[in-house]
Copies of this chain bind each other. A is one copy, B any other.
Amino acid sequence: MCITGFNGGMMRLLLVEDDDLLADGLQRALRAEGYTVDCIDRGDLVMPALQDGGFELVLLDLGLPGLDGMAALKLLRQKDKQIPVIIISARDALEDRISGLDGGADDYLVKPFSAAELIARVRARLRRRETPGTEVVQLGELAIDPERFTVSRNGEPVSLSRREMGVLLQLVRHRGRVLTRDQLEQGLYGWNEDVESNALEVHIHHLRKKLGSGLIRTVRGVGYSLSGEME
Contact = CB atoms under 8 A, between A and B. Distances in A.
Closest 5 CB pairs of A and B: A162-B221, A101-B120, A98-B120, A101-B124, A149-B178
Query: How many A residues are at the interface, by size bracket?
Result: 20 to 34
Nearest to A221: B162
A52 to B, nearest CB: 18
A156 interface: no
Contacts of A178: 147-149
Interface string A163-178: 0000000000000111
Copies in the complex: 2
A224 B120 CA distance: 39
Contacts of A161: 220-221
A124 B149 contact: no
Contacts of A149: 178, 219, 222, 225
Interface of A: 94, 97-98, 101-102, 104-107, 114, 116-117, 120-121, 123-124, 127-128, 147-149, 161-162, 176-178, 219-222, 225, 228
Contact of A101 (B94, B121, B221): B121
Contacts of A123: 101-102
Nearest to A176: B148
Among A105, A149, A176, the most chain B Cβ lie within 10 Å of the Cβ of A149
B148 A124 contact: no
A105 B124 contact: yes
Contacts of A102: 120, 123-124
